[in-house]
């Protein structure tokens, strides 16, 4: 009992941050459940559009339907990030969780593909549950524990991404695609209740003067340490999601039965390896190797994207998707750590809000690019387009580090 009391006292306040360990685990649980709800539809959304009457240019319209929510999210994400610094992240969790759950519920009642498209556009304005959880951890965790805490969140996020497509594929087969949307909404409502009622948050600092979102965002964008990180993570998001509209269609060329389940399984393999890789990445970032891990993730993602495009069977595709998850863990966890370290604690909400907006634009461009490439040059070309984005991201970070190294001679340290 004495040991647990000491541990509780340590958790109660470190660096003035109350209950950060408890927050991390509660948010990990909420993130896990929410990610199941988010990712369930990934396995069958293109097929849902076909069921509702779409029979022409399915790859292209699937990409646009996936991407439109990210476009609308890009417009409001910096605003949500700035407001979270001002009013707290628990409010953002509540707004996003309830809003997305309602939209998923309505999507289950859609009568045609255009209604799905409009609802996905509305979804983007409500997005932000996972980013809000990440921001809450980043702003309420001691700096020396950031890598491990963000690694836990990323692991739970990845495990949810593993489970979601599998649950979605099975639900679509058992209760139909509409029923899967209703189940997804219920899970999102549950995750919101768990997260909002369970976490404690350090009150935002009182600030004098007027509240200017535009001024705050200009300050973040002027941060030279953040600029290359934003660019690289934008490219990474576009590269990772370029395959989103074509992967279920590619699976249909290999699997003739239980296609929704097979697509869900292939989606989930990346989540398995991401979950396995995240703790390893968080340990490496804690030892000061975040930048090297970040770069290694981009290089690995490049080669594995090319191999996925060359896959000759469902088994080969699954093996390459599994390996890709380790590269994904390196990019995601190390990237979040580098963002948090590059921004002042009181500005981290805005920094992650801008990051969310920028990666949301990548989420628009990636699926749209992939859908277009798949339509014009064949399904594997979407993987090659994604590979090009990853190698470009590695080049951006390499150039920024060389520039930072030169600046280091003047007393400005490089990223680590």
The answer to whether residue 126 sits within a structural domain is yes
Provide the token pair at 412.
């400005």
Q: What is the pLDDT of residues 210-225, one digit of tens each?
A: 445 566 667 676 667 7
Residue carrying the six token digits 């293109």: 46
The answer to whether residue 5 sits within a structural domain is no
Provide the token pair at 320.
């390459």
Residues spanned by the domain of 291: 12-202+212-405
What is the total count of domains within the chain?
1
The answer to whether residue 410 sits within a structural domain is no
The answer to whether residue 415 sits within a structural domain is no
C-alpha–C-alpha distance, residues 20 and 32, integer Å: 18
Q: What is the pLDDT of residue 103?
A: 92
- Residue 100: C-alpha distances to residues 13, 40, 121, 394 (Å): 33, 13, 11, 33
Residue 189: which CATH number?
1.20.1250.20
Instruction: Go through 69-104 and write b for each residue having 16 or more CB atoms within 10 A of its CB, e for each that does not.
Output: bbbbbbebbbebbbbbbbebbbbbbbbbbbbbbbbb
- Give pLDDT < 70 ranges for the chain: 1-18, 43, 59, 82, 85, 143, 201-217, 219, 221-223, 257-258, 260, 286-288, 345-349, 403-416
Q: What is the pLDDT of residue 105?
A: 93
Q: What is the pLDDT of residue 106?
A: 93
Q: How far is CA 285 from the centre of its chain?
A: 19
Task: Note if the pTM is more than 0.85.
Answer: no
The answer to whether residue 416 sits within a structural domain is no
How many CA atoms are closer than 13 Å to the CA of 191, on its beta-carbon side? 34
The answer to whether residue 231 sits within a structural domain is yes
C-alpha dihedral sign at 276, 265, 130, 344? positive
User: Residue 263 in contact with residue 62, Cβ under 8 Å?
Assistant: no
Q: What is the pLDDT of residues 175-208, one digit of tens each?
A: 888 888 999 899 999 888 888 887 776 665 555 4
């Amino acid at each position: 009992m004495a040991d647990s009391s000491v541990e509780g006292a340590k958790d109660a306040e470190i660096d003035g941050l109350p209950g950060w360990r408890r927050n991390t685990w509660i948010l990990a649980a909420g993130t896990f459940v929410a990610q199941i709800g988010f990712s369930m539809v990934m396995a069958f959304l293109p097929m849902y559009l076909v069921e509702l009457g779409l029979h022409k240019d399915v790859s292209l319209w699937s990409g646009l339907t996936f991407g439109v929510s990210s476009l609308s999210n890009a417009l409001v994400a910096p605003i949500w990030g700035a407001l979270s610094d001002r009013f707290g992240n628990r409010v953002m969790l509540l707004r996003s969780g309830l809003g997305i759950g309602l939209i998923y519920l309505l999507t289950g009642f859609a009568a045609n593909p255009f209604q799905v498209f409009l609802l996905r556009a509305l979804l983007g304005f409500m997005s932000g549950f996972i980013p809000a959880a990440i921001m809450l951890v980043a702003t309420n965790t001691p700096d020396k524990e950031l890598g491990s805490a963000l690694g836990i969140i990323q692991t739970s996020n990845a495990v949810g991404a593993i489970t979601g497509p599998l649950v979605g594929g099975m639900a679509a087969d058992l209760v139909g695609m509409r029923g899967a949307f209703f189940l997804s909404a219920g899970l999102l409502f549950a995750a919101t209740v768990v997260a909002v009622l369970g976490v404690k948050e350090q009150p935002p600092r009182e600030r004098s003067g007027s509240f200017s979102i535009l001024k705050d965002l200009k300050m973040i964008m002027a941060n030279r340490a953040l600029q290359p990180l934003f660019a690289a993570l934008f490219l990474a998001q576009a590269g990772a999601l370029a395959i989103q509209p074509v992967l279920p269609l590619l699976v249909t060329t290999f699997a003739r039965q239980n296609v929704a389940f097979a697509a869900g399984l292939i989606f989930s393999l990346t989540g398995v390896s991401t979950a396995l890789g995240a703790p390893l990445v968080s340990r490496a970032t804690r030892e000061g190797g975040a930048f090297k891990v970040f770069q290694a993730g981009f290089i690995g993602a490049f080669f594995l994207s090319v191999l996925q495009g060359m896959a000759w069977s469902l088994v080969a595709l699954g093996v390459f998707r599994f390996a890709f998850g380790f590269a994904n863990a390196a990019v995601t966890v190390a990237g979040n750590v580098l963002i948090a370290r590059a921004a002042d604690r009181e500005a981290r909400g805005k920094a992650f809000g801008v990051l969310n907006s920028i990666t949301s634009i990548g989420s628009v461009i990636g699926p749209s690019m992939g859908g277009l490439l798949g339509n014009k040059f064949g399904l594997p070309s979407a993987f090659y387009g994604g590979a090009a984005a990853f190698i470009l991201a590695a080049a951006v970070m390499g150039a920024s580090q060389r520039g930072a190294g030169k600046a280091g001679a003047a007393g400005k340290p490089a990223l680590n």
